[in-house]
Amino acid sequence: MGPGSFDLYTLGWSLVLQPMPLVLLVAGVFLGIVFGAMPGLTANMGVAILVPFTYALSPTAAILMLIGVYCGAVYGGSISATLINIPGTPAALMTVFDAYPMAQRGEAGRALGLATTASFIGGLLSVVALAVFAPVIARTASTFRSQEYFAFAVLGLSVVAYVSGSNLVRGLASGLFGLFVACIGVDLATGYPRFLMGMPNLLSGVEFVPILIGLFGLSEVLEQVYSGSYKKTPTQKLQRILPSIQEFATHVWTVIRSAIIGVFIGALPGAGATIAAIVAYGQQKRFSKNPDELGKGAPDGIIAAETANNACTGGAMITMLSLGIPGDSVTAILIGALILHGIRPGPLLFSQEPALVSSIFIGMFLANCVMFVLGICGARLFARLISLSKAILLPTVVVLAAVGAYAIRNNPFDVGVMITFGFVGFLMERLSIPKAPMVLGIILGPLMEVNLRRAFQLNRGSYWATVNSFVKSPTALGILIFSIVILLLPWLQRRLAGRKHLGSA
């Protein structure tokens, strides 16, 4: 954002502190904590369902509310992880191991206080990283040509396929299906319709937001109903919640290390907060003076997991804002929200919409502050909310999903798209096929196609000249080679493991 950044931040504060954006930010954080605290109601679901309802809002108010939901939901998962031994979101997976045992000792309030404070500090440190690194990356990316953009898109799909699970083939298949969905509609270069399947409504392509609502909203409801996990859950009594400064100061290196891990992993396309928490927890076990205590109610286990997963939010926003490549599923949905308001994330965003960018930075900061206040003051309320029966909540989610899908274009066809992708997402869940590569494929598909075609046009349609242009670009060539290495990593790891096994036999 360069010269004049102080003035831009002043303008950003003036935009954020307007009554409507500020109220929506606070409401977003509250709703996010509720979605995160209730097992099965994830951050993806909350953001995806609320996107259509932001259509009538200004871009600033809309993105601030969704950022609030994002930050609140990542933290909210720790509440159910602590009180009922169920991670409210996948990001709280590692929090369970120490927060629940601590709660079982009668220290549920202390566990929640540690999780809330760690989430707050991790989130703030990630905002600092976002404000420092995103403008630098955007300035560098503004010099990229078509070759570099195409290579970055390939890298994004490669990374998300690799980190999506043990089965690389399923991750790649999911990404390729996303690319196929992105190709539906009229070819912008030739005007030729593609994959319409006899449906004129597909001429303009498949609307992105109904896809997201189906994949992350309706499919989760179907999964909950199918598995029968919608019973009322008990809660615990809470004592003192706010931790002392002295207690937290003893874990300062845990916080710093976990925050760095969270920001770095968050910036990797598709990696997400769950992986960040797992890595940070593993590193804490390695560096801890009492590693055997982890998993038995150790404070540093809670702090490591919650600092890392909340630091992931700012890290994911770095690549989303500066490159237009989402760091996780939620930032993929945020890209859809910005596009809905006529704004395309990427390097040009920093020069075309600097006030919006500064308001996003400030909004992330305020969202974490609001999250901390609500988390400390409203812990008992959220503890009661998670005891509500999902037999009431899940039908409400379905109604909101249908209304949201219809509201985008006032077209019943979009409700059909939402339902279709709801069942697609449910089947993917049942078959252990990751959804993140598919979403990234839908987002990156147009970016890949446009830039590859532009490279062909600049080389007068010559295949060899186009390939040569990639070879002559050190950045593009390096990124493509790195992408291939990432895809070959599972095979290389299996080969090395096999050799070690033979050597030890």
DSSP 374-388: HHHHSHHHHHHHTTS
Tokens of 109: 């309030």
Rounded-to-integer distance, Cα 235 and Cα 178, Å: 41
Rounded-to-integer distance, Cα 309 and Cα 291, Å: 20
Rounded-to-integer distance, Cα 39 and Cα 220, Å: 11
Rounded-to-integer distance, Cα 246 and Cα 423, Å: 50
pLDDT at 426: 93
pLDDT at 229: 58
> Which residues are paired to 193 by β-bridges?
186
One pLDDT digit (tens) per residue for the chain, 505 residues: 554 456 667 777 888 888 899 999 999 999 999 888 876 677 777 888 888 888 888 889 999 999 999 999 899 888 888 887 777 777 887 888 888 888 878 788 888 888 999 999 999 999 999 999 988 888 887 777 888 888 888 887 777 676 655 577 888 888 889 889 988 888 877 778 888 888 888 888 888 778 878 887 788 788 878 876 554 445 555 566 667 677 777 888 888 999 999 998 888 776 678 778 888 888 888 887 887 788 788 888 899 999 999 999 999 899 888 888 887 778 888 888 888 888 888 888 888 888 888 899 999 999 999 999 998 888 777 767 666 666 777 787 788 788 878 876 788 898 899 899 999 999 998 888 888 788 878 877 887 888 888 888 888 878 888 888 888 888 888 988 988 887 787 777 777 766 665 665 5
Rounded-to-integer distance, Cα 121 and Cα 114, Å: 11
Residue matched to tokens 């242009």? 469
Residue matched to tokens 């396929």? 161
Closest CA to 208 of 174, 185, 176: 185
Contacts of residue 54, defined as CB under 8 A and 6 or more positions apart, other chains included, come to 61, 62, 65, 66, 337, 340, 341
Quote the Cα angle for 267-269-275, to 5°. 75
Rounded-to-integer distance, Cα 136 and Cα 347, Å: 10
Tokens of 12: 């950003």
Residue matched to tokens 């931790």? 243
Closest CA to 276 of 451, 459, 411, 125: 125
Rounded-to-integer distance, Cα 392 and Cα 485, Å: 48
pLDDT tens-digit series, residues 419-448:
999 999 999 988 888 887 888 788 778 878
Closest CA to 11 of 422, 337, 356: 356
Instruction: Look at residue 185 and give its three-state secondary structure.
Output: strand
Quote the Cα angle for 448-450-455, to 5°. 95
pLDDT at 3: 42
Q: What is the pTM of this model?
A: 0.76
